[in-house]
Amino acid sequence: MSKKRLKISSKFVEIILMLLIVLLPRSLVLAADIYASAAVDDQGVLRILTKGGREIVPKKESEQVGFSKPQISEDGRVVGWLAEFSNCCTSYPIPLKLMIYSNGRVHALTGSGLPIWHWAFQAGGKRVALEQETVHGGLGVHYELRNVATGRLIAEYNPKVGPNNQVLTDQHLPKWVQQLNARR
């Protein structure tokens, strides 16, 4: 093979490799982290540990006062937690955002804006379900099912309430809501 042809071939390979790095999604180019544990320590710091031994310490958002209910998806590729904020009318912080972390990226889910009291990964970590309601008791109950990767709303459910504004117990719940409620 001539030197000129060898030079062209190596340039061609170099260009193809550069294009692959630029065009392939980040998750395909870099090895995805697998998370082993997620917990809030005694100082209120959220610590996430990868199976490779790397520790990740997410920062609080502006005005955020705490972390609660961290969970790892079934497949180990996503971590979620509730971000808690001060509230004028309670003696305790309220969880207003569900934070989803994967491969160095965080996105926040706020749903209807009410506190998020209960949440769980579903479909092996591809979806997340959350339940929201007012601070003091059963009013304005709202459920959402979202795609973990995009945050896109897949479904929502607002249970019917009676004349006292309490949720009626004799109604059919979507399967994903039943699954979320079963994890309480």
For tokens 């934070």, the residue is 99
Q: What is the pLDDT of residues 64-85, one digit of tens each?
A: 999 999 999 999 999 999 999 9
CB burial string 5-37: b at 16+ within 10 A, e below: eeeeeeeeeeeeeeeeeeeeeeeeeeeebebee
Q: What confidence tens digit (pLDDT) does each residue in 83-97 have?
A: 999 998 888 999 999
pLDDT tens for each residue of 1-48: 555 555 556 666 676 656 555 565 544 445 689 999 999 999 999 999
d(CA 164, CA 131): 20
Residue 111 scores a pLDDT above 80: yes
Task: Note the pLDDT of residue 26.
Answer: 47
Contact criterion met (CB below 8 Å) for 131 and 118: yes
Give the model's pLDDT for residue 114: 93
pLDDT for position 10: 65
The pLDDT assigned to 29 comes to: 41
